[in-house]
A and B are shown apart, each in its own frame.
Chain A
Amino acid sequence: MNAETQKRVEVRDLRLSYGGREVIHGISFDIYEREIFAIIGPAQSGKTSLLRCLNRTVEFTPGARTSGVVKIDGQDVREVKDVYQLRRKIGMVAPLPVGLPLTIYDNVAFAPRCSGLRDRAVLDELVEKCLRQAALWDEVKDRLNTLGTRLSGGQQQRLTIARALSHQPEILCLDEFSIAIDPVTTMRIEDVLKELRKEITIILVTNLTQQARRLADRTMFMWQGEIIELDSNEVIFGPNPRDSRTRDYIKGVFG
């Protein structure tokens, strides 16, 4: 990374505890513009919690306490007045597919409408664009008025991705987006991510180390709330990562 590349996300000594139990133990890292940044690590290593700190949805969990600094585009997220604007800036795809109990169209149009967009023609265009990006348009274009909850699990997951794109985020966080999707669709979405990468920053939390290897520019290996190693993919997935645990985890002989 050259020094000119702009920092999108800056995390300094971030600690997070739920009801006194610390789950993230003071981590620091930067994410730069237009990169795919992968976070790998076993369950309970704090990956999802970390994402929730970025858009401040961690505040919805009772007893959650954070310290340290999280900056998005140079601004401390805890000093953001309009937290809803912050959340629109960050697209978030949860690991389990959640079709909202609305029509497919309304699912995707929900966020734009929340921020005041009413023009039907603009909405139509936006909905089509997002559904196309999520590789779902061809399957649902004839039944946009059926319920999103009636779609199959994999389709609902792509609907979730379409929704995350609907508020035109500048940073897209995908939290294990592929666990409910078949390999072929996963590859289609990965192609979409490679396209999106030209415009936005993507944070990819994944259990599939090979996915991180395929897509990411840099990969961070987290374990039990700490960063074990963060480096470019050539190093992390190369023959000699700095920490032996990284190599073991990627090889699948960890623990």
Chain B
Amino acid sequence: MSSMETQNAAQTPENQEALSQVTPRFAETPAVRKKLLYQKIAKIIFGLMAAAMIVPLLLILSYLVAKAWPTLSWEFLVDVPKRGMTEGGIWPALIGTVYLVFISLAVSAPIGILAAVYLNEYAKDNWLNRIINLAVINLAGVPSIVHALFGLGAFVYAAKMGYSIISASLTLAIMTLPVIIASTREALASVPIAFREACWNMGATRWQTIKAIVLPNSISGILTGVILQVSRAAGETAPIMFTGVVFYKAVERGTLFPYYLNEQCMALSMHLYTLSTQVPNVQESLPYATAVVLLGAVLLVNATSIALRVYMRSRKKW
């Protein structure tokens, strides 16, 4: 201990006390050992919980694939159901789901993104916008069966669209809209407020700021939020069952445009439900193979979204 340090430290009584203990520096006192032990325990517990997430996913996937293995083939994807749906493929359901997802997001993504930009960038904090906020949050929490009933009343009957692809798609759009608004707002809010202020200080309008700074730097988050809704729209059964999806519809094998928008269609989630509960003597692997296709499509979409996010983040500018 140099004399100068001692002198400085001696100015306060606490330091004097600390110095009087002759423990060498960086020694492991009991308190330190306890702290390190807790740290280790916490890490193990949290790690185990995180690892536990993988187990059910792997179990489900391997079980499904094993059960579905005899049926899984390209032929299964593009063929139509045969012999009272006990054999054959899933083409009408697959293309029906593509229709529903595509149309519903074509409606909900632009509306949702524009609404979120308004709420996050333009809206002042007044009672009207607080009510809009509350509505968005509550709408996101509404069970899908309630959306189904709403779609039935609003689109099928009131708007006279009948049981059709367009009714079902609009119902799905209503269901995905609040979540898209919420995720888009999240993405917009992640752009630092200082960027906006810097632009406003230079006399830029809100729109010039949004166009030049806010949107280019939040687009990856916005797209991720939208793409994640693809899997949700593809997976829901109740909203489409009430509004425009049927057990069976005869279409030609492998055609890309088998449906008109005012017609009813088949969909994967509904098809899975039908095969598992409604049709007698189904070939055992058929529902499993359908589930694998549905799950595979969802995983594919999510993987695309993650890849997109990684790519966009690598180009992030701050």
Contacts and interface: CB of A to CB of B under 8 A. Distances in A.
B139 interface: no
Interface stretch (B47-55, B198-206, B280-288, B306-314): B198-206
B213 A101 contact: yes
Contacts of A111: 202-204
Given A100-B213, A111-B202, A167-B202, 12 more contacts: A57-B200, A57-B201, A87-B201, A88-B203, A94-B194, A98-B195, A102-B317, A110-B212, A114-B202, A114-B205, A163-B202, A164-B201
B105 to A, nearest CB: 28
10 contacts: A57-B200, A85-B203, A87-B202, A92-B201, A100-B213, A101-B195, A101-B216, A101-B217, A111-B202, A111-B203
Contacts of B199: 100, 110
A167 B199 CA distance: 12
Contact of A62 (B125, B198, B212, B213): B125
B201 A60 contact: no
Contacts of A110: 199, 202, 204, 212
Contacts, number: 71
A87 B197 CA distance: 12
Contacts of B203: 84-88, 111, 114-115, 167
A160 B199 CA distance: 11
Interface of B: 124-125, 194-195, 197-205, 208, 212-213, 216-217, 316-318
Interface of A: 55, 57, 60, 62-63, 84-88, 92, 94, 96, 98-102, 110-111, 114-115, 147, 149, 160, 163-164, 166-167
B181 to A, nearest CB: 20
A54 B124 CA distance: 21
Contacts of B125: 62-63
- The residue in B200, B201, B216, B316 that gathers the most chain A C-beta atoms within 10 A of its C-beta is B201
